[in-house]
Structure 1
Amino acid sequence: MESADNKVYFNRPQRLTQLIGANTTVIVAGRRTGKTDSIAAPFVLRNMQRMAGSTGGIVVPTFKHGLTNTLPGLLAAWKRWGFINGIHYVVGRKPPKSFAKPITEPHDYEHVISFYNGSIAIIISQDRPGSSNSLTLSWLLVDEAKFIDYDKLKDETLPANGGIKSHFGHHSFNHSIMILSDMPQTKRGSWFLHYREKMDADLIAAIEATVYEIWRIKSRIRALNTSNSPVPDYLKNHLRRLDRSLNQMRSVAVYYKEYSSIENLQLLGENYIKQMKRDLTPLTFQTSILCQRIGIAKDGFYSSMKERHKYNASDFAALDTVWQQFAAAPDSLDSRPSALDCTMDADVNPLAPLCIGMDYNANINWLVVGQPSGKRLNIVKSFYVKFERKLPELVADFCAYYATHQNKTVVFYYESTALGGNYAVNDQDFRWVIIHEFERHGWRVEDVYLGNPMRHDEKYLLINQGFAGKQRLMPFFNRQNNDDLILAIQAAGVSRGRLGFRKDKAGEKLAETEEDRLEHRTDGTDAFDTLYIGCEKFPYTESASLNIGGVI
């Protein structure tokens, strides 16, 4: 009895990427277009199967990202296609003796995927120093390229992609590299967009035509075999020539393509696109879903913020524990680990209180978390909720993430905007609701009243001086935990009025009603402003009474 074929659906962008098979492939696509599942997974699987014993690299911006996004997507796809953990591959441990050995064995197998034929894939995380040292690679997958440090990639990892030519030189995908991302929003994150100019459109068209011709010849041969007719030698010879030609073209080809999430509408459905438009911040929707290129504000409200004000802070010991649990449970490998909380963050002092600033709006509410450390103000995480989720849910998200934080004290900085307002929750003002919710979750709140909001020109001067190191505290942002906040800060524009600089907040009222918005919401940046002003002007001390007032 024959088993039924396991049919797999690929949308048009996914099919084209696989059929073209360029040596260098760059796909810039919106969320849920199947970049990891149906573009990266076939790329890695092909390389590991057809270059037996080879070593490849999966490059991720942080180990946390690889653990929560890249690997579960890859392994879930393989599982659907019949490749079983423990039979066809193993993760994070030495493979069984029944597996073939790789040509070059790694020093250890802790961060390695091992295939039955001896091929291995090494997880290279840029926040873990030396993870690509002394490697000889035959292929590279670069995931979430907009968060990748190109200088590190260029200096540490790309030189390792030399491969073993004596073994795999005849393959068009030896030394291959695949780069995946949604549309970047910063100049630094746009390093891979120049591949569009490197693509030879005529060469790609020739590859497409050759693939079609090979399909046509193979169809003729199948028809002849079905009818028990002899296959002419010229057809076989022509097919061999086409294969050689295709291999040569693929080996030098660069394929660059941009897609929006709408390309996968057949699987996602219209409701997903509508939900993302509603739930995501506007600029994130434009870049991550519609995959639109946007202009970056050159003279923004936070013009002194530089790349050096962002940092990575993974607790590798905690992440390795989660990784070991992840690798030891075959049935959970294709799903995201659930035990990700503040214990994974190396920048949080568990014995110190957490300082917060918030912003309140009918449609979106923000909570930004920071901890002063010497002359630094580390912005360790930010949260937001939208529409039917209000302040109680926002506080609950915070408390769930920081459930293991030892010092259950929150220093809540707030302005007069938190008093008297109630449209985000009920008939109580924002301050009351926030304090009540924190206390309900077992936290102690030290509330610090900052008075009326600071004038925009004064705020502009204070915060930009902070970024420049001319104030007591300099703000720094945890990249992994503040994606949307960093985007908001980088995109916040300025307008000039009779009082000088003002933050351009015109886009706030249009954010959820216009399809193609160019401004990002400033709500999150207002929460950051409150936090910075509070920590800078009203520093918390355990012995001080913080329930103070004043106009700043």
Structure 2
Amino acid sequence: MIRKTVVLNPAQYFASQSTQKRKFLELGRGTGKTTYLGYHDVQLVKQMPKASFAMVGSTYSQILSRLLPSVKEGLEMFGVYEGVDYVVGSMAGKKMGFELPFQSPDVFNNVIHFSNGSIFQLVSLDHKDSGRGLNSYAIVGDEAALLDEERLNINVRNTNRSQKAIFKKSPLLNSELFLSSTPLTKKGKWFIDAEEKSLRRPDEFYYLKATAKCNLSNLRPDYFEYMKESYTSDTIYNAEMLNIRPKEITDGYYAQLNPDIHYYTDHDNSYLESLDLSQVDAKSFNWRQDRDVNPNIPLIISVDWGANINSMVVSQMQGDTYKVLKSFYVKSPKILDHLFTEEFMPYYQGFPANLVKFYFDRTGNSRTANSKLTFAQQAEQLLRSGGWKVHMMTVGANPDYMMKFRLINSMLKDDGRRRLPKIRINQSNCADLIVSLEHAEIKDSSRGLEKDKSSERRKGVEQQHATHLSDAFDYPIYALFNEIFVNQHRTSEDIPLSSF
């Protein structure tokens, strides 16, 4: 390890001085989460040589794509370097003369191994057995708002029990650290609930809220003004930058949406665990990591076109379930072409069925500038040139928002009394879509009740949290199931729509 001087900002300093075993840090963007994560991890390694720690993520995909790069960056800030002070995902450390932990795992493919024998085992909550059998001395979790609390308790917290006499004076023995920005969706409520626990049990829980205002010496002078221009809505800006928690929209456009019912994770961890952790890059994350996709049936794709953003939702009809598998978007200055050539086609390259059913709204029939092709024809041409077979499934005139509202909420009702399929959404692959759905409000206009689209009117780069993706979600559902819904409602004894 190389000696480096790092000055902690006030939030980082107060967190470092807290003595509680369970720390929850709600930190806005720019506050210095990566720096504190690096500091904390270094302290664990120094205080408890040869100990085993659990580093937890919502999915193994999230660990590899976001958590692990943050950990490496944070460690480097404190003079701890990969390939010198630690290795990732291999037994190379043993060959380099590293100490081994007290309880050495049989394989090191999901382990960060430090030269003094300390290890972090990467634990993903989407793997039911991940973490089981582990005896850990501490827990670390970044992006904690994405974690499922029940799985966290069963798979990880139960392992945080190891004791050694030589560590009895270590302040971090059996500690927990969870960091996150303010949750944007209902799934993260467990994290902010810890604030109340810190008030009732201050000796056990430490809860800190901070924004980048405590870190201005490391940021551009106009950071907040600059970032405000980048957000499409005050709700998202207030949450991610100012730690102002979004109100729960109980009467939103997707009123029946329930995270406990409609969201799921289903990654093929055997594929992800086969990756060389030192060689993981963006190309490593593709449809092969998705266990919920059926490679033998067509993909349903739907696109919402726009000047500032082009959005796509990918789904499949599987038995009695309509599965929403993945969402994509590209923002200006990128154009429609990039949505297909840089997002959809690379992700689904080599997909065996090689067929898409393509849904879009009426604006898809508008011609692009300086082209004889419509938006839809241009997209079709891109797909075919990429080797895909395409069935164009135009929806004609855009349906009334209230008609879509009734249909979709009827399907989300999910009480087993209708012939309509269930809707299930892959939460790790559709994070931006979920924000779009949960924050889509309903308004009363001269035309009746409709989706509030005001979030789309502000120019900026965060349009993925406006209603664009939710519109792409709507198009195929309405086209596929509205006729069934209307006919069924006329003839059945279903629950009246007034109950929504």
TM-score of the superposed pair, with normalisation by structure 1: 0.78
Deviates more, 1:504-513 or 1:73-82: 504-513
Deviates more, 1:337-346 or 1:90-99: 90-99
Change (3 A) 1:443 1:9: farther
1:434 corresponding residue in structure 2: 379
Matches of 2:6 and 2:428, distance apart in 1: 33
Q: CA deviation at 1:444?
A: 2.7
Contact 2:323 / 2:424 at 8 angstroms: preserved in 1?
yes
Matches of 1:419 and 1:270, distance apart in 2: 45
Matches of 1:429 and 1:268, distance apart in 2: 44
1:521 to 466, 488, 493: 466
1:501 corresponding residue in structure 2: 449
1:72 corresponding residue in structure 2: 69
Change (3 A) 1:86 1:4: closer
1:395 corresponding residue in structure 2: 340
Q: In the TM superposition, what whole-angstrom CA distance separates every residue of 1:211-244 from its partner, at most 9, and x where no partner exists?
A: xxxxxxxxxxxxxxxxxxxxxxxxxxxxxxxxxx
Matches within 5 A, 1:348-427: 348-396=293-341, 397-420=343-366, 422=368
Q: CA deviation at 1:140?
A: 0.7
2:80 corresponding residue in structure 1: 83
Change (3 A) 1:338 1:413: closer
Q: CA deviation at 1:488?
A: 0.9
What is the SS of the residue equivalent to 2:152? helix
Q: In the alignment, does 2:59 pair up with 1:62?
A: yes
Q: Identity rate of aligned residues, in percent?
A: 28
Contact 1:368 / 1:531 at 8 angstroms: preserved in 2?
no
What is the SS of the residue equivalent to 1:191? helix
> Superposition RMSD on alpha carbons, in Å?
3.2
1:320 to 264, 267, 273: 273
Contact 1:145 / 1:189 at 8 angstroms: preserved in 2?
yes
Matches of 1:339 and 1:20, distance apart in 2: 39
1:134 corresponding residue in structure 2: 133
Contact 1:395 / 1:438 at 8 angstroms: preserved in 2?
yes
Equivalent position amino acid for 2:450 in 1? R
1:259 to 202, 207, 210: 210
What is the SS of the residue equivalent to 2:244? coil
Deviates more, 1:65-74 or 1:336-345: 336-345
Matches of 1:142 and 1:437, distance apart in 2: 41
Deviates more, 1:348-357 or 1:53-62: 348-357
Deviates more, 1:167-176 or 1:137-146: 167-176
Q: CA deviation at 1:107?
A: 4.6
Q: CA deviation at 1:126?
A: 0.1
Matches of 2:12 and 2:163, distance apart in 1: 28
Q: CA deviation at 1:486?
A: 0.5
Q: CA deviation at 1:345?
A: 1.6
Q: In the TM superposition, what whole-angstrom CA distance separates every residue of 1:269-307 from its partner, at most 9, and x where no partner exists?
A: 368767755665534444233432110201111112212
Q: CA deviation at 1:123?
A: 1.1
Matches within 5 A, 1:80-159: 80-94=77-91, 95-96=93-94, 98-159=97-158
Contact 2:303 / 2:310 at 8 angstroms: preserved in 1?
yes
What is the SS of the residue equivalent to 2:393? strand
Contact 2:24 / 2:206 at 8 angstroms: preserved in 1?
yes
Change (3 A) 1:34 1:357: same
Q: In the alignment, does 2:435 pair up with 1:484?
A: no
Matches of 2:253 and 2:12, distance apart in 1: 40
Matches of 1:537 and 1:173, distance apart in 2: 56
Matches of 1:462 and 1:4, distance apart in 2: 61
Equivalent position amino acid for 1:93 in 2? S
What is the SS of the residue equivalent to 1:42? helix
What is the SS of the residue equivalent to 1:255? strand
Contact 1:460 / 1:501 at 8 angstroms: preserved in 2?
no
Which structure 2 residue ranges, 5 or more long, are not aligned? 485-500
What is the SS of the residue equivalent to 1:326? coil
Matches of 1:510 and 1:280, distance apart in 2: 8
Q: If you compute each CA radius of gyration, which structure gives the higher value, 1 or 2?
A: 1
Deviates more, 1:152-161 or 1:78-87: 78-87
Equivalent position amino acid for 2:211 in 1? S
2:495 corresponding residue in structure 1: none
Contact 2:3 / 2:78 at 8 angstroms: preserved in 1?
no
Q: CA deviation at 1:447?
A: 0.7
Q: In the TM superposition, what whole-angstrom CA distance separates every residue of 1:249-282 from its partner, at most 9, and x where no partner exists?
A: xxx4633222234544444436876775566553
Contact 1:314 / 1:346 at 8 angstroms: preserved in 2?
yes
Deviates more, 1:522-531 or 1:472-481: 472-481
2:15 corresponding residue in structure 1: 17
What is the SS of the residue equivalent to 2:191? coil
Change (3 A) 1:533 1:271: farther
Change (3 A) 1:388 1:418: same
What is the SS of the residue equivalent to 2:26? strand
What is the SS of the residue equivalent to 2:80? coil
Change (3 A) 1:273 1:428: farther
Q: CA deviation at 1:19?
A: 3.7
Matches of 2:282 and 2:304, distance apart in 1: 30
Matches of 1:375 and 1:343, distance apart in 2: 23
Change (3 A) 1:395 1:262: farther
Q: In the alignment, does 2:220 pair up with 1:269?
A: yes
Q: In the alignment, does 2:249 pair up with 1:297?
A: yes
Q: CA deviation at 1:177?
A: 0.9
Equivalent position amino acid for 1:149 in 2? D
TM-score of the superposed pair, with normalisation by structure 2: 0.85
What is the SS of the residue equivalent to 1:136? coil
Change (3 A) 1:435 1:290: farther
Equivalent position amino acid for 1:254 in 2? F
Matches of 1:375 and 1:527, distance apart in 2: 21
